[in-house]
Amino acid sequence: MEGFIRVFLPLLAGYLLDFAIGDLPSAYRPELFFKRAINSVLNWMNCGTMRLLKGAMLVVISTGVVFIVTTLIWSYLLEFAVPAYLLLSTLMIYWSLGSNKLIQNGDAAFNKNKEGNDSSAYTRYETVISMSSGLSKRVVSPVFYYCLGGIPLMLSSQLIHYLDDRIGYKTTEFEDFGKAAAWSDDVINFIPSRITAVLILLISRNSAAWKYMMNRGHLHASPNTGYPLMAISGVIGIDLLLPVSEVKLSRVHYAYIRSLHYAVILVLVVAIGIYYFNW
């Protein structure tokens, strides 16, 4: 029961806040601190020689500091200020989740805009890809690392996601410097992406989609995005690895993907609640 109160209740409260409110305005999101801290060191680290080593140092040092500091803070709160522990844990989980934002973007892409025009096929295509990878990175991954190592490990994993989004590009500026961030992101999302795919397939109860996902999940450029994306492809019967001009996504397809999104979260939260309640 202690685990239920200490672990599950902040998770449930954080998810309900995300469901009811959605994302905080960017000016109030904790990741603004990450952004300012990283930007302050980019100019003097991402220059000269040994950029690969410098990028690796940035990943190791920044995530290490976040993990150690949050471990000390949360250990103190759990020992001496349990209400503050529960409140801050709830807020950190709420910040880390991005379910509501993914759905809002999907609704905007698949519903008519103010002028009454539909979004382009490319926008719909990119939205579904974003929803599949986002379900892994913005929902399953933070929940997975929270259950595995509490708020410290969850925030450290979120920082790696942010570093990958910020510098993990194959451009002239970040080709070497961002490699460690990109590799780290691939590593930490390896298990969550496959959990996401399995949950999608279990919920849909589509046996043929299992073989489809296993045969085609590795064909995507990303070692992780392909699995939830191909799980969705198998379920809706549309190969989302085809060129965008050949992918015909309707509102019916999106409505089913949307329902899968919520079902994955519901199953995940309920399963964790049952586990910690018995534990």
pLDDT at 273 over 60: yes
Q: How far apart are CA 184 and CA 162, in angstroms?
A: 11
User: What predicted TM-score, i.e. pTM, was given to this entire model?
Assistant: 0.91
- pLDDT of res. 2: 73
Q: Looking at the predicted structure, is the pLDDT value of residue 75 above 50?
A: yes
pLDDT digits (tens, 9 = 90+) for 180-212: 999 999 999 999 999 999 999 999 988 888 988
Task: Answer for the pair 138, 102: CB distance below 8 angstroms, yes or no.
Answer: yes
The type of residue at 174 is: F
- Are 58 and 180 in contact, with CB atoms under 8 Å apart? yes
Of 140, 147, 146, residue with least CA distance to 198: 140
Least confident of 28-42, 112-126, 169-183, 220-234: 112-126
Q: Give residue 123's pLDDT.
A: 87
| Residue percentage of the chain with pLDDT more than 70 | 94
pLDDT at 174: 83
Tens-place pLDDT, residues 52-74: 999 999 999 999 999 999 999 99
* Strand, coil or helix: 110: helix
Q: How far apart are CA 119 and CA 251, in angstroms?
A: 11
* Lowest mean per-residue pLDDT among 12-16, 18-22, 114-118, 132-136: 114-118
- Which pLDDT does position 113 carry in this prediction? 52
Task: Name residue, tokens 């202690």.
Answer: 2
Average pLDDT, the chain: 88
- How many percent of the chain have pLDDT more than 90? 50
Average pLDDT over residues 237-246: 87
The model's pLDDT over 148-157, given as tens digits with 9 standing for 90+, comes to 999 999 999 9
- What pLDDT, on a 0 to 100 scale, did the predictor assign at position 243? 86
Q: What is the pLDDT of residue 114?
A: 45
Residue 222, sorted as left (phi over 0), alpha (psi -120 to 50) or beta, turns out to be beta
First to last CA, the chain: 6
